[in-house]
Amino acid sequence: MKEEMRKSQAEMLNKRIKRRSFLKAAGTIGGAAIVGSGGIAIKDAIKSPSEVLASEPVKYEVFRSTCSMECLHCNLTAFIKDGKIVKVEASKDFNVTGCLRGMSRTQWVNNESRIKMPMLRTGKKGSGEFKEISWNEALDLIEENIRKTIKEIGNKGILLESASGNMDSIANSMAGALFTHLGGATRPAGSLCCSAVTAAMNPIVGFRYVDTRDTIRDSQYIICWGNNPAVTMQAYFKEYEEAMKNGARLIVIDPRFSETAARADEWIPIMPGTDTALALGMLNIIINEDLIDRSFLMNHTGAVYLVDQNGKLVRENQEDPDSYVVYDMKQKMLVRHNKKNIAPALSVDEVSIPNGYRTVYDLIKEEAKEWTVEATAKETDVPKETILRLAREYAKNKPSMIIQNMSGAQRTEFGTYVSASQFYLAILTGNIGKPGAGVCDAGGVTQFVNINPPVPSAEVTEEVANIPVAKLGESIVNGDPTEIGFWYIMTTSPMTQVPNTNMVRKALEKVPFVVVADSLMTSTALYADLILPVTTVFEYTSLMAGTRSHYIQLKEKAVEPPGEAKPDYWILTEIAKRFGVGELFDKPIEEHIKACLEGTGVTLEQLKQGPVKPVSTPYVPFKDGQFKTSTGKAHLFVEDWADMDHSPIVKYYCSKESIKNKSNKLLEKYPIMAIQYKMPRSIHSSFSTLEWLNEVHQSEPEVLIHPKDAQKRNINDGDKVVVFNDRGEHHAKAIVTTHIKEHIIGLQNGWWEQQGGSSSYVTNDTVEALGTGTSINNTLVDVRKEG
Ligand SMILES: Nc1nc2c(c(=O)[nH]1)N[C@H]1C(S)=C(S)[C@@H](COP(=O)(O)OP(=O)(O)OC[C@H]3O[C@@H](n4cnc5c(=O)[nH]c(N)nc54)[C@H](O)[C@@H]3O)O[C@H]1N2
Ligand SMILES: Nc1nc2c(c(=O)[nH]1)N[C@H]1C(S)=C(S)[C@@H](COP(=O)(O)OP(=O)(O)OC[C@H]3O[C@@H](n4cnc5c(=O)[nH]c(N)nc54)[C@H](O)[C@@H]3O)O[C@H]1N2
Ligand SMILES: [Mo]
């Protein structure tokens, strides 16, 4: 394995060296950039290195970086002429298909509307009236407002909000560390994205950001469950196509006929928020028809752990959390689960177990039993025959894989159970730890190596209660749990991405000093007191080793930023200096990168030659049933959930804002359920305003509405409509289509205020029950024709 890894790295290195020597021969290596790497003529980029060698003189410098927001962190190559980026494409030696967003980075870097200087608000918040000030004045204001806030409110009065705009190994990590060195700050708790997945995976399999992308093509049966990889994992969709060529069936469970559904063998429309009921219904069939993998359950899982009559896990020794007890059928006695040569009982239905104990499997069985085919069909709107076929096909067509990849299905009120129920299906059928099987999470290089923070955090002097991110707006408006005096926003755009935009707007208006670090006048920047101009990809050097790509990559600086735009790490270092902790931060970026890499076995020198993948391919997570929990087994009974007064076994709860929840009075007012979907034209609010993307895709918000719902409201295809509820209004163009279930509408994610406004104006800001995530896909609304 190691040998293979070395080989592939050596191959990559060779390729790069060839190119370098060619460049040296041509005598055109760029001198200005820190780690720049030579040049190829732009039209030659599609040729092989040898073809290039044989062709014209060199005209362009070439640099490499990555997309930095929450996409797949594909390696990008930029072509530079006279200090300007003229073209960006996916790097040829990087096994992905490039996308228009990546290519449009030229338009982001060269954008006329880039913020070039720090900007101080002069008009009302939201008016967009600002004046340019110097960095010195900007940093003075930041220092003054932080000191004032600490004095008047305490450290809890500082709010640091950072998210997925730049997921490299430096930016957000350094920001988090800085504010601990200042004594602490309030942070959003949970994530807008996928904390429900974290809350499911950590207890069940012991680890997160574990993906199965390497063996998608080996799968026989793939369920994209509330997930749309044709758009949201675009660069790897070819793997699904390979699997289908190899005979796999592709199934999509989605209320919307998504881009993936269009390429799939089967689309299963479902009532949003009811996915756990469907999974339990499938489990019931799988259990009844004995399609479970007994030996896997007995040897690799906690399905055999015993539970006492009070519903608590039985332990041999209360002091030892891993001392779970099973009933050994050989010796007919209770023993510790990991005793050698035992045959643990799976169910009281098969053997009698003393003390009235039952197994975890018995509890799952009992929970699933409620979900008869009839009950499941009624709740989910999936026909009975489909449920039966789905369950049987999933369990029999091995290896089968479930794709969740931070799915829409888990951005629901009980999203943790949705994610967990998919692991139950994989584990009970032994469909995990093998090529072509498993549950595909978002995954990155951090599942193979540990990347250190560039600057270690400090012990905070003041403990703060963080604010659930779904409730960010309302919490700040109500000063609960704290007043906020200083809000630092970087790598995120709350005005478009946080639920309940009107509350977020009020919060931005209320907080006395809001700093937004961004490169463009975003919807959020409009509400800042101070905007800080930041660099974009190709304007700074950094390290990308995160949760979305299997490679460790260097982000090379290729061009000078416009005006006085600076990388986040420069800004954070300047703030640190003003608070007397500058020495930890004020180092050349190469030093920080080296600190991140320490212990990985990968060096900066290696990265200068190209991306490095520190694991052999194909990678199979939890291979041979080796899980990352404390016992090495998959745990299906989660005590943490019981501690939160929820079921320790996956259970289906109907969400409050659901048209299935007939007891909700709100339903009379708002009889339609709105779900969200991501678009090819943007990554959330990033890329949203770039011209090429507007040319190729839609340039205004759209809403998908079923013909019957449209007709009732006198709405025709193309009409301007208003989607509304008590939280606010979202204005969009109606697309009347059967590509969405009746009573459901589909809203797009990422539109800016300046483009008509975000669909977050209506989204549900209920905190997801177990993972502190969001419930945006459980939103009740109605729709009317504009005007
Ligand atoms: N082009 C593009 N790619 C992206 C992103 C982007 O913004 N743009 N964002 C990235 C990020 S951060 C993430 S988290 C991933 C997300 O990747 P996905 O989860 O694939 O993205 P979504 O479009 O949010 O949701 C997928 C589907 O879930 C459906 N859905 C909504 N509610 C439910 C439900 O209750 N049940 C079921 N079964 N389906 C439901 C929606 O109709 C949608 O088609 O994508 C990543 N990739
Ligand atoms: N309505 C609705 N809301 C959603 C979703 C949805 O489907 N619908 N999806 C949710 C999900 S899954 C996610 S992950 C979140 C994502 O939400 P966010 O994490 O807010 O992601 P983006 O909208 O991409 O915002 C990133 C911002 O960071 C800026 N940025 C880019 N690079 C840098 C940099 O180097 N430094 C700094 N300082 N800024 C930079 C960009 O210009 C952009 O303004 O949204 C969530 N919110
Ligand atoms: Mo996300």
CATH number of the structural domain spanning residue 674: 2.40.40.20
Q: Are 366 and 283 in contact (CB under 8 A)?
A: no
Euclidean distance between CA atoms 500 and 62, whole angstroms: 43
Pairing assessment for the beta strands 358-359 and 306-307 based on DSSP bridges:
antiparallel
> Where among 643, 674, 690 does a domain terminate?
643
Residue nearest to atom 4 of ligand 1 (CA): 232
Atom of ligand 2 nearest to the CA of 750: 23
Q: Provide mean pLDDT across the span 195-199.
A: 98
Residues lining ion ligand 3 (Cβ < 5 A) are 193
Tell me if 28 is assigned to some domain: no
Indicate whether 25 belongs to any domain: no
User: Distance between CA 169 and CA 180 in Å, rounded?
Assistant: 18
Reported confidence tier of residue 32, pLDDT bands at 50, 70, 90: very low
Does the pLDDT of residue 13 top 50, yes or no? Answer: no
Does 680 sit in the ligand 1 pocket, CB within 6 Å? yes
For 596-612, give one letter per residue: b (16+ CB within 10 A) or e. Answer: bbeebebeeebbbbbbb
Number of domains in the chain: 3
Do 716 and 741 have their domain in common?
Answer: yes
Cis peptide before 399 (omega within 30 of 0): yes
What pLDDT sits at residue 94? 85
Cβ–ligand 1 distance for 422 under 6 Å, the answer no
Residue 660 counted as domain residue: no
Across residues 446-472, what is the average pLDDT? Answer: 95
Q: List the beta bridge partners of residue 686.
A: 683
Predicted pLDDT at 95: 79
* pLDDT greater than 70 at residue 33: no
- The confidence band for 46, taking pLDDT boundaries of 50, 70 and 90, is very low
Q: Which ligand is nearest to the CA of 278?
A: 1
Q: Residue 675: CB within 6 Å of ligand 1?
A: yes
Instruction: Identify any residues that bridge with 733 across adjacent strands, giving them in sequence order.
Output: 702, 720
Question: Does 331 lie in the same domain as 281?
Answer: yes
The pLDDT of residue 787 = 87
Domain that holds residue 729: 666-785
Same domain, 507 and 401: no
Ligand 1 touching residue 255 (CB < 6 A): yes
Q: Which atom of ligand 2 is nearest to the CA of 194?
A: 12
Least reliable range by pLDDT among 458-462, 540-544, 682-686, 749-753: 458-462
Is the pLDDT reported for residue 44 higher than 70?
no
Asked if 148 and 262 sit in the same domain, the reply is: no
Task: For residues 290 and 144, state if they share a domain.
Answer: no
Token duo for residue 354: 């003393």
**Does residue 267 form part of some domain?**
yes
| Residue whose CA is at the smallest distance from ligand 1 atom 41 | 677
The mean pLDDT of 591-612, rounded to a whole number, is 97
* Across 463-472, average pLDDT: 95
Question: Among 162, 504, 518, 539, which residue has the most ligand 2 atoms within 8 Å of its CB, making it the best to mutate?
Answer: 518
Tokens of 30: 């760029």
Q: What percent of the chain has pLDDT over 90?
A: 91
The per-residue pLDDT for range 688-716, each reduced to its tens digit, is 999 999 999 999 999 999 999 999 999 99
Taking CA atoms only, the protein residue closest to ligand 1 atom 47 is 232
| CATH number of the structural domain spanning residue 162 | 3.40.50.740
Q: Does residue 174 sit in the same domain as residue 237? A: no
Measured from CB, residues less than 6 Å from any atom of ligand 2 are 68-70, 163-166, 171, 192-193, 490-493, 497, 517-520, 522, 534, 568, 676, 678, 683-686, 749, 758-760, 763, 776
Mutate to test the pocket of ligand 2, among 71, 191, 497, 679 (most ligand atoms within 8 A of CB): 497
Q: Tell me the best of 557, 684, 751 to mutate to test the pocket of ligand 2, counting ligand atoms within 8 Å of each CB and taking the most.
A: 684
Q: Which ligand 1 atom sits closest to the C-alpha of 681?
A: 1
Q: Residue 93's pLDDT is what?
A: 86
pLDDT in tens, 257-279: 999 999 999 999 999 999 999 99
Give the CATH number, domain containing residue 298.
3.40.228.10
* 110 domain-assigned: no
Tell me the three state secondary structure of residue 409. Answer: helix
Read off the pLDDT of residues 58-113 as tens digits, 9 standing for 90 and up.
Answer: 689 999 999 999 999 999 999 999 999 999 999 988 878 789 999 999 999 999 99
Q: Are residues 510 and 570 in the same domain?
A: yes
Same domain, 177 and 226: no
Of 20-29, 420-429, 447-456, 682-691, least confident by mean pLDDT is: 20-29
Nearest ligand to residue 686 Cα: 2
pTM: 0.93
Same domain membership, residue 262 and residue 172: no
Transcribe 686-715 into DSSP letters: BTTT-HHHHHHS-SS-EEEE-HHHHHHTT-
Minimal-distance CA residue to ligand 1 atom 43: 677
Query: How many Cα atoms within 13 Å fall on the side-chain side of residue 273?
Result: 27
CA distances from 707 to 207, 267, 725, 743 (A): 44, 19, 21, 10
252 C-alpha to ligand 3 centroid (Å) = 19
Check: CB of residue 614 under 8 Å from CB of residue 448: yes
256 within domain boundaries: yes
Residue at 204 is within a domain: no
| 389 and 273 housed in the same domain | yes
Closest ligand to Cα 252 = 1
Angstrom distances, CA of residue 746 to CA of 261, 721, 779? 15, 13, 11
- Residue 116 phi/psi, 5-degree rounding, is -110, -20
Distance from C-alpha of 328 to C-alpha of 220, rounded to nearest angstrom = 35
If asked whether residues 403 and 328 sit together in one domain, one would say yes
Q: Identify the burial level of 785 via C-beta atoms within 10 angstroms of its C-beta, where 0-12 means exposed, 13-18 middle and 19 or more buried.
A: middle
Determine, yes or no, domain membership for 31.
no
Strand partners, 490: 162, 517
> Residue 519 above 60 pLDDT?
yes
Check if 773 has its Cβ closer than 6 Å to any atom of ligand 1.
Answer: no
Let me know whether 263 and 217 are in one domain: yes
Place of tokens 């067509």: 397
